[in-house]
Amino acid sequence: MTDLSNNPLLDFNGLPRFAQIEIAHIIPAIEYLLAENRSQLEQLLAESNKPFSWDNLLQPMQEMDDRLSRAWSPVSHLNSVKNSDVLRTAHEHCLPLLSEYHTELGQNCRLFTAIKSIADSPLYPSLSQAQKKIIENSLRDFHLSGIDLNDADKKRYKTIKQQLSKLKSSYENNVLDATNGWSETICEPLQLVGLPDSALALARQTAARDCAEGWVFNLEFPSYFAIMTYAEQRELRQKFYIAYSTRASEQGPNAGQWDNTENMENILKLRQELAQLLNFENWAEYSLATKMAGSVDEVVDFLQQLAEKSTKMAEKDISELMIFAKTHLHIDKLQAWDLNYVAEKLRHHRYDLSQEILKPYFPENQVIEGLFSIVNKLYAIKINAVAGIETWHPDVRFYEIKDIHGNLRGQFYLDLYARPHKRGGAWMDECIVRHAQNGLVQIPVAYLTCNLTPPIADKPALFTHDEVITLFHEFGHGLHHMLTQINYAGVSGINGVPWDAVELPSQFMENWCWEKESLALIARHYQTGEVLPDELFEKMQAARNFQSGIQMLRQLEFALFDFNLHRYYQLNGKPQIQQTLNKIRQEISVFLPPEINRFQHAFSHIFSGGYAAGYYSYKWAEVLSADAFSLFEEKGIFDHKSGEDFLHYILEMGGSEEPMDLFIRFRGRKPNIDALLRHSGIL
């Protein structure tokens, strides 16, 4: 019998004990909690003669779910930020166990009947709005979990869910391994002409870390971005483009080594089978059952409307790049590996502006301090660092949020820099979810994770403006999680929020990266302390929508590919992924990538994340965020009343009410697409 008495994953007092967590703790803790939850649920349902209520069924279940979540959260997080073979093995062992448990809950007829009896009871009207929403969501989710299926189909549903869990993990592991599995050591300085000193210093630092000579560049984003944006040697850009755009595929320098082709086909096949099992025509329809958008046609019409309004501008953007490349850079035929490089040259030529010029004005400490000042002005909250907290890496910091009355509202870990064995991209995830138990409120805790440029030598980390926007985006998600005032975990923070509304707070925060008043707080030269000069600010504003037509179409290409792939996928055994992507590109793209491009093989959002048939959510929520911010444009970007309303109607309410109702309460009307088009320079 495994001794669980000192297992840190089973200690629910305070924060995760990252310094004490060992691989050997993971499987026993999860198996113990699953067995305990099953036993407790059986006891809760055993007294069949009692009238079920929130207090004798749903509240205990909330506490059961919370314990399991708190044990699994640090394991899942470590698998993303400190990946290793042994951790991966333990993580993958637990995935089917968790999948099986959640499927059991969703297909438990006694539990369904018990919860339905609460919804039908005379006491139901006396429950809070949040409690009612949890019950409503639960009854919906029972049907989406196969409660109505016969025994054979229920068994098949469970098998599919377990297989999908494994396949998604395998897909993500392949992306991580393929990203870590390729780098280029360069010893000849002439190959690196055009690269800024900061990029060269980072490559030197990477070489020293890897015990290599010269400069080491890899596929971590700060390194890859530098090559693609500044390297004058075209062959070098081409080499990096091919390595990056063929990750985890049958093409490129590591062809077949971590190939996701089979994973993708199997994921789509199983999703389609699952959707049809539940009487949906396809996975896109199934996906919309829990989203704001009302129908497949509504989503497609929305995306196509944006594409039609953006195409002319995108065509102009690409034409300008081609002309500039030919007349100024002697590039007769523009290739995919030229786009970033030519765009940066054109931006500098037209606006005398580049990301590198701005970086000295965005030192990490000033950006963080300014971000905290901005949310203080908006929401009257104060954020302070807390020392002595156990973390998973020396670079990670920990902060707490208090309101104007000194009440603790939330806490968060901040892990900013790219490094090996850390999943790419940026994300917010839940560490601890707010809920109340015996009158005591559990304070929410978030993980805020980025892959930004690290400090180099004795200099602080200097961020590009795009990296600052990324940080603000994730912090918006974090505020949604941490500032909630809902005491029921099922609809607390981001829980229960439809996926096409969950990006509203994150994209909303990005707006303060562009305003003069807010830039005065986040942009100061790291050596002189000088605020961002008016001249640079004006250049930033002039260049804000530079190439925005291309950027808009690129996101729409991803969204339409995702949605059409899940809408039209057929269980006929024929490959459909590349063909679907090619068709979308032919229809809306103004610049076709080379045939070797395998973007989809590393499109983690839809194949291993939560955005399957939901990538459109970014644009859908951007309409909400642009229109929400337009109120601040009218009233002032630090208008107290507007900030207070956004806090109370959006951030604090979690998923306790429908997002459209909350938006109307905040804005006084339904959202209007014009604000997004205006912000993008398209209107």
Q: Give 369-407 as a DSSP string.
A: HHHHHHHHHHH--EEEE--S---SSTT-EEEEEE-TTS-
Neighbours of 323 (CB within 10 A): 12
Residue 56, Cβ density class (10 Å: 0-12 exposed, 13-18 middle, ≥19 buried): middle
Q: Are 65 and 36 in contact (CB under 8 A)?
A: no
Could you tell me what percent of the chain has a pLDDT over 90? 97
Place of tokens 């339905």: 116
Q: 65 phi and psi, to 5 degrees?
A: -60, -40
Q: Which domains does the chain possess?
A: 8-176 (1.10.1370.40), 181-245 (no CATH), 261-351+548-615 (1.10.1370.10), 360-544+618-679 (1.10.1370.40)
Residue 395, Cβ density class (10 Å: 0-12 exposed, 13-18 middle, ≥19 buried): middle
pLDDT value of position 3? 78
Q: Is the pLDDT of residue 253 over 80?
A: yes
16-36: pLDDT as tens digits: 999 999 999 999 999 999 999
The C-alpha atoms of residue 505 and residue 368 are separated, in whole angstroms, by 18
Say which of 220, 344, 474, 515 is annotated catalytic: 474
344-394: pLDDT as tens digits: 999 999 999 998 999 999 999 999 999 999 999 999 999 999 999 999 999
Q: Is 320 a catalytic residue?
A: no
Chain-centre distance for alpha carbon 457: 30
Mean pLDDT of the region 408-425 = 97
Place of tokens 């030269």: 525
Q: Are 410 and 403 in contact (CB under 8 A)?
A: no
Sorting pLDDT into bands at 50, 70 and 90, what band is 1? low
Q: Tell me the torsion sign for CA atoms 368, 373, 374, 375.
A: positive
Chain-centre distance for alpha carbon 144: 24
Provide the 8-state DSSP code for 52.
P
The per-residue pLDDT of the chain, averaged, comes to 97
pLDDT value of position 188? 96
Residue 208, Cβ density class (10 Å: 0-12 exposed, 13-18 middle, ≥19 buried): exposed
Q: Is the pLDDT of residue 584 over 60?
A: yes
Sorting pLDDT into bands at 50, 70 and 90, what band is 332? very high
Q: Are 657 and 129 in contact (CB under 8 A)?
A: yes
56-102: pLDDT as tens digits: 999 999 999 999 999 999 999 999 999 999 999 999 999 999 999 99
Question: In the chain, how many H helices and how many E strands?
Answer: 26, 9
Place of tokens 């892959």: 451
pLDDT value of position 48? 61
117-158: pLDDT as tens digits: 999 999 999 999 999 999 999 999 999 999 999 999 999 999
Neighbours of 215 (CB within 10 A): 24
pLDDT value of position 11? 96
At 14, the amino acid letter reads G
What HEC string does 214-280 produce? CEEEECCHHHHHHHHHHCCCHHHHHHHHHHHHCCCCCCCCCCCCCCCHHHHHHHHHHHHHHHHHCCC
